[in-house]
Amino acid sequence: MKIVVIQGPNLNMLGVREQHIYGPMKLEEIHQQMKSFAEQNGLEVEFFQSNLEGEIVDKIQECMGDADGIIINPAAYSHTSIAIRDALSAVEVPAIEVHLSNIHAREDFRKKSLTAEVTAGVIAGMGPFGYHLAMIGIIQIMGEINAMKEAEEQQNA
């Protein structure tokens, strides 16, 4: 099973910017923890970060037919990007949205996520542990999808 982790704008600055909101961990450290979990669970994981909306859209589109699940932190684009929302909807790859901070306890403009509407779920406010929870969530979703496919195959046999 392959999971693609897509990180949005300014997440390359983790550990440096606003540690009181986002914590002290660098993005590379979060990715290393995710990679260790993936190896322990027989998963392939790929990481991508961009500050550019179009590059994020391109990466989501590349997931179609190549990835079993997407973990995405669109960051500020969560609240503004119809293009990222539409790409997530179009590829029909299960996705979980992650936010390090609790977006619902922040400024009003951060409380609405356009991208959340087309994801299987949202994890917010759990810090880096939110990515770990998202990986567990993707494993669960894929298990359910595979069980449904097996049941259909047995009915058709």
Q: Which positions are catalytic? A: 22, 99
Alpha-carbon distance values, 25 to 18, 28, 33, 98, 155 (Å)? 11, 8, 11, 15, 49
Angle between helices 129-156 and 27-40 (to 10 degrees): 40
Across the chain, which distance is largest between two alpha carbons, in Å? 57
Residue 116 is classified by DSSP as: G
In angstroms and rounded to an integer, the radius of gyration of the C-alpha atoms of the chain is: 16
Buried b (16+ CB within 10 A) or exposed e, 1-10: bebbbbbbbe
